[in-house]
Amino acid sequence: MVVDDAVVIRGLLSRWLDADPALAVVASHRNGKLAVDDILRSNPDVVVLDIEMPEMDGMTALPLMLAKKRDLVVVMASTLTRRNADISLKALTLGAADYVPKPESTSEITTSVDFRRELIDKVKILGERARRLSGRGKTMRAETNAGKSASQAPVGALANRPMMPGARAEAAKPGFQLKPYSSARPRILAIGSSTGGPQALQQLMKDIGSTVTDIPVVITQHMPPTFTAILAEHIGKAAMRPSKEAETGDVLQPGHIYVAPGGKHMILEKDAGAVKVRLTDDAPVNFCKPAVDPLFDSVAKAYGSATLAVVLTGMGSDGANGVKTISAGGGSIIAQDEASSVVWGMPGAAANTGLCSDVLPLTDIGPKIVRVLKGSAR
């Protein structure tokens, strides 16, 4: 279901989604009230929900939709303003699965290949996971094929088929190897995350905020500009620690949190006994900017065996090469497990390197980090 008050945008998104053989648009509406009233009849797996609409906006509609259909996946769609970034992150705490930032103008939306790809990928990945968890995944292919061949929308939106190459490292090899934790006490915590990351980061930082007083925390979350500044504020409040969007020249301070800004890679460099941030405008890595691999590589060079890294939920495999670099330098890595991940792409790729020291549910990662920082990892 596509919900947007702009008829041009509503039609464009619907055409994009419906053109994909794995998807079918079952309804589109111009405001939240019409969408809420139609949830049970149209029975979508995923709703792409605009924020600003007349009569009933997206934030008002969100909880009403979820109350009617508990396993509904809602993807918020909003333009890149500070207000909308703040609202989008708040929506995640109210049950939205993720967000897709829309370009500012209609002309930019129609020509943005990245926006189209991100929208379709997230609808597929998030919706397929929801259907699998609800036990409906096995019927997806038959439903979609039958619906498409009859030129009718199936009651469901997703086919049980592989998604984008590299986006679903969704099954770790049975019995993947674990590597012992470094004997060195960590002097930095580096975290990489993507889809589902804002929620996971808030939970994790709440769990470890009172413990990370003696080391800095550096985070790369796949996010556009504006959103990363808001994210830094949110996780700072959760951790009750100073937190900011990183800037070139920042000297890492113990107990402080630094978030890579959208549109820039964040790397760390030693300088006269201190470790400083340098932002680069290099090309995307793993289709991402900021990307986790450049951060992890630089952390390994600066801190060696005193590195502790965490790979949280996210699409793709960004961070896996950085895991290898950190491991080669003697550092330790924790990956989020599949069951607690919104998407087990990034942490799955990290786990499958065989170089992680633990693969844990999100609720166990914080307590483990606390023990590692206290020197009692085992």
Block residue for tokens 């769990």: 207
CA 146 to chain centroid, in Å, comes to 32
Question: Catalytic residue at 222?
Answer: yes
The four Cα atoms 153, 22, 197, 347 give a dihedral, to 10 degrees, of 150
**Which is catalytic among the residues 78, 194, 340, 357?**
194
CA 342 to chain centroid, in Å, comes to 8
Question: Catalytic residue at 214?
Answer: no
Alpha-carbon distance of 27 to 8, in angstroms, equals: 15
Question: Catalytic residue at 318?
Answer: yes
Instruction: Tell me which residue of 76, 305, 108, 68 sits closest to 198, measured CA to CA.
Output: 76
How far is residue 302 from each of residues 6, 137, 248, 267, measured CA to CA in Å?
A: 49, 45, 16, 10
**Which is catalytic among the residues 29, 222, 256, 265?**
222
User: Do 273 and 235 contact (CB within 8 A), yes or no?
Assistant: no
Vertex 106: Cα angle to 105 and 112 (nearest 5) = 90
User: Do 119 and 13 contact (CB within 8 A), yes or no?
Assistant: yes
How far is residue 33 from each of residues 28, 44, 102, measured CA to CA in Å?
A: 12, 16, 22
User: Do 356 and 325 contact (CB within 8 A), yes or no?
Assistant: no
**Which is catalytic among the residues 4, 38, 318, 358?**
318
62 is written with which tokens?
A: 């969100």
Block residue for tokens 């793993």: 286
Any idea which residues carry the catalytic annotation? 194, 222, 318
